Amino acid sequence: MLLASAYFPPVEYFALLARDFIPGTPAGDTSIYIEACEHFVKQSWRTRCTILGPNGTETLQVPIVHDGARTLREIRVEYATPWIVRTQRALDAAYQSSPFFEHYADGIFAILDSQPETLLELNTALTRHILQRLGIGVQLQLTQEYVPEGSVPDDYRSVLHPKRENTVLRELGLDRPYYQVFSRKHGFTPGLSILDLLFNEGPDALLYLKRQ
């Protein structure tokens, strides 16, 4: 399977990562690859995620340094502005009353506070951390050269995109409700960042991803 790098990826991203994993077993030999050598794609999940807060859906973004870098491996995160503080405040406002926010927030905030230099490093560290907290034992690998479109099976790089119809969400049965803090006010909102599922469902998040 081949996926694009993503910042706090959406629920369906992790459902794909968990699809062939059997809970309670060690990680197998099958590796899942993250495209690390592509030209940077703007307005995608690579630099943004969506959460559900008191005022409805909210997009959180990672600012990047515009210095002429073109490939994903070269893109550096911009830390001159206090976006990490704003992100933590937004997550506090959205999830501080969720059942599992205090259980998971510190580890996630610690990665943000460590300020990884590149976007790829930041996204990969967050994804691996969340995989570990979910108990999804898969081998996450980075590509060493660009993989052309259509050259490998299960290529989801272009499928998962905030501006395209989310067919994967329905195909994986992830449009069914789970508990959300503000669902009474806004109704159930599918396709949010994995943080929404993790903070609201905790250890049961993996069961949801596996459709159990």
Interacting residues of 150 by C-beta distance below 8 A, sequence separation 6+: none
Residue 165 is predicted with a pLDDT of 79
Residue bearing tokens 């990680």: 27
> What's the CA gap between 109 and 205, in Å, rounded?
20
> How high is the mean pLDDT of the chain?
93
Residue 64 is predicted with a pLDDT of 97
Beta carbons within 10 angstroms of residue 104's beta carbon: 20
Q: How confident is the model at residue 190 (pLDDT cuts 50, 70, 90)?
A: very high
State phi, psi for 11 to the nearest 5 degrees: -55, -45
List the strands of the sheet with 139-142, edge to edge.
2-4, 31-35, 139-142
Residue bearing tokens 């050259």: 151
- In the chain, where are the structural domains located? 2-204
DSSP string of 121-145, one letter each residue: HHHHHHHHHHHHHHT---EEEE-SS
Q: Is there a contact between 12 and 166 (Cβ–Cβ < 8 Å)?
A: yes
Q: Against a cut of 0.75, is the pTM above it?
A: yes
Nearest to 16 by CA among 125, 126, 138: 138
Q: Is there a contact between 153 and 41 (Cβ–Cβ < 8 Å)?
A: no
pLDDT tens-place string over residues 10-19 = 999 999 999 8
Residue 191 is predicted with a pLDDT of 94
Sign of the CA dihedral 100, 12, 210, 141?
A: negative
Written as six digits, the tokens of 37 are 């050598």
Residue bearing tokens 């999804």: 136
Q: How confident is the model at residue 139 (pLDDT cuts 50, 70, 90)?
A: confident
Does residue 203 surpass a pLDDT of 60?
Answer: yes
> What's the CA gap between 180 and 90, in Å, rounded?
16
> What's the CA gap between 32 and 148, in Å, rounded?
16
Does residue 28 surpass a pLDDT of 80?
Answer: no
Written as six digits, the tokens of 117 are 């230099």
pLDDT tens-place string over residues 45-75 = 999 999 999 999 999 999 999 888 889 999 9
pLDDT tens-place string over residues 71-125 = 999 999 999 999 999 999 999 999 999 999 999 999 999 999 999 999 999 999 9
